[in-house]
A and B are shown apart, each in its own frame.
Chain A
Amino acid sequence: MIEVAVRHTRGAFSLDAAFAAEGRVTALFGRSGSGKSTLVDVIAGLVRPDHGRIVVDGVTLLDTEARLRVPVHRRRIGYVFQEARLMPHLTVRQNLLFGRWFSRDRDGGPGLAAVADLLGLAALLERRPAGLSGGERQRVAIGRALLARPRLLLMDEPLSALDEARKAEILPYVARLRDEARVPIVYVSHAVAEVARLADTVVVLDQGRVAACGPAAEVLRRGALFPGRDTAETGALLQMRVAAHDDAFGLTHLDGAPGRLTVPSLPLPAGASVRIRVRARDVLVAREAPRALSARNVLSGTVTAVTPGAGAHARVEIACGEASLVAEVTRLAVHDLALAPGLSVLAIVKSVAFDEETIGVVEI
């Protein structure tokens, strides 16, 4: 449980944000300049806010009212920075063990071997940071934070300095971290794909204020990620399970609340849990079953809401079983099909709409 309430003014920028989050991964989402980094710096204790209160797992780290301020080094908050910030004069092993010595009077947490294994660092231990790739450095930074036995892990856009290939290399490690390390994580990002794959709770920051806060699926479905802006990045977040593989056609069938989905082949065993995002712009709406259709996913559901946008677009929310999908269609289509709450429709998604951006990682 994390409770944060901060008021802080520096020059023209003012941050006035409060949120409470429970769950393994809380995403702080917002465009650059929205105050995300300042907020995590305040949580870590690197920035002293004018007013604030921070409680992590029942321990008060900051309370300006009560004149309480735990210094940075006693907060036990691991911080993975945008740039890895490894100590250049120490080896990977020494970097990893840096925080260990200062937390020697506490038990628990994974050991060096476990962390090196989790993050794929075993072969790098005797190297120095200058000889590592960007992705390797970031993995060392994550391991180093983890080994300091933190009560909370802050990750400030840990992937933003990396190219796409390196991002794809690290993201699974972060997901494993979430599932195996049992440390709550606050993950700062402005990438929808990262938030959709990792977060349980999403806090959306806009110009220093909290614009939305809630469970990831709900915030994504409401299209609240980009306040004041219509975007096709919104969509549904679905929890699915691998049902079967179709090796002949290179497909994987997934079962879940909305029914069966067919997606390009996933390298996962049957029964594995997977999180997928169905972008609103990838969903078609039909009133009757189309014939001879190339799209492989046709889900029947009921329209629950129709929200016309400012321009040509409209959002249609469709309940499919327990799940809820969002479709972005034109207002003209809403008119022609007479889409209205209560209407039975079919939601259609092309299998090829599912790609690396939308298919998430294994969950426990």
Chain B
Amino acid sequence: MTPPLFLTPDEWSALRLSLLVASVATLASLLPGLGIAYLLARREFRGRAILDGLVHLPLILPPVVTGYLLLLAFGRRGWFGPALAELGIVFSFRWTGAALACAVMGFPLMVRAMRLSFEAVDRKLEQAAGTLGAPPLAVFLIVTLPLALPGILAGAVLAFAKAMGEFGATITFVSNIPGETQTLPAAIYTLTQVPGGEAGALRLTLVSVALSMAALIASEWLARRARGRLEA
């Protein structure tokens, strides 16, 4: 019998899987997130409203619908599934699929935070950098990106936290396979469905709360540090 405060091997595996899935989901969405946030914040182009809507769709759709759409698109017999499988990329019923679902669900939150921080960067500074000879890419890398950093970090932390808690789309898309796709929320849900699972559910709930708090504090700290540099 395990002491009530220690995690069982299954619970450890759910925690490890959740951290892996959330990390991969966040890192993989970072670059596309930055790109789309910058486009939405700084460029006028045809189809801007459509792109904006598409990015925000997972925020409004029921997670089950998003999960089912992912299944239709990336399932073994889905629209892109077979083609991707030939390239060796398989999402269905794998942890990679859980990461994809978490990334899609966290994407609107990430893009929103990044977009706001890009919009908050004074364009006059970018203009000034241009008159000093900096081409547009350099202006982005040396001026816009560092100044938007607090918001970018906040967006990444937000997406990570969302990924840690994602349930509906993940379970619909890749099911609830212990050790492969059973993330923290799925494990908690499973434990609440079996007799005698309450203690385990409670332990994982505490872990969830602790992780979320840690993420929040970390993002605050990073943002404050980034801001502090501007005021020194």
Contact = CB atoms under 8 A, between A and B. Distances in A.
A46 interface: yes
Contacts of B134: 73, 98-99, 102
Contacts of A130: 230-232
A99 B124 contact: no
6 contacts: A77-B131, A78-B132, A85-B128, A88-B230, A130-B231, A148-B133
A98 B125 contact: no
Given A73-B135, A130-B232, A131-B232, A85 B124 contact: yes
B232 A72 contact: no
Contact of A148 (B127, B132, B229, B231): B132
Interface of B: 122, 124-125, 127-136, 138, 142-143, 146-147, 229-232
A33 B175 CA distance: 66
A289 B231 CA distance: 65
Contacts of A75: 131
A228 B133 CA distance: 41
A144 interface: yes
A81 B231 CA distance: 21
Given A85-B124, A87-B143, A89-B147, A44 B131 contact: yes
A29 interface: no
B232 A128 contact: yes
A interface, how many residues as a size bin? 20 to 34
Question: Most chain-A CB neighbours within 10 Å: which of B133, B135, B136, B138?
Answer: B133
A315 B51 CA distance: 67
Interface in A119-137: 128, 130-131
A29 B69 CA distance: 64
Contact of B133 (A88, A99, A131): A99
B9 to A, nearest CB: 47
Nearest to B122: A85
B82 to A, nearest CB: 46
Contacts of A83: 124
B131 A89 contact: no
Contact of B131 (A72, A87, A88): A72
B131 A102 contact: no
A44 B131 CA distance: 7
Nearest to A77: B131
A236 interface: no
A145 B132 CA distance: 7
Contacts of B142: 87, 98
Given A89-B147, A130-B232, A102 B132 contact: yes
B124 A81 contact: yes
A142 to B, nearest CB: 13
Given A88-B230, A89-B147, A144 B132 contact: yes
A99 B138 CA distance: 11
A103 interface: yes
Contacts of B143: 87
B146 A89 contact: yes
Given A72-B131, A73-B131, A87-B129, 15 more contacts: A44-B131, A46-B130, A72-B130, A73-B130, A88-B125, A88-B230, A89-B146, A99-B134, A102-B133, A102-B135, A103-B133, A130-B230, A131-B232, A145-B132, A148-B131
The 10 closest A-B pairs by CB, nearest first: A102-B133, A99-B132, A72-B130, A79-B131, A85-B128, A88-B230, A148-B132, A99-B133, A73-B130, A89-B146
Question: Most chain-B CB neighbours within 10 Å: which of A45, A77, A78, A102?
Answer: A102
Contacts of A77: 131
A327 B142 CA distance: 56
A331 interface: no
Contacts of A139: none
A36 interface: no
A241 interface: no
Nearest to A81: B128
Given A89-B147, A128-B232, A130-B231, A46 B127 contact: yes
Contacts of A279: none
A221 interface: no
B133 A79 contact: no
A130 B129 CA distance: 18
Contacts of B231: 128, 130
Nearest to A141: B128
A245 interface: no
Contacts of A72: 127, 130-131
Contact of B128 (A45, A76, A79): A79
B133 A76 contact: yes
A15 B162 CA distance: 53
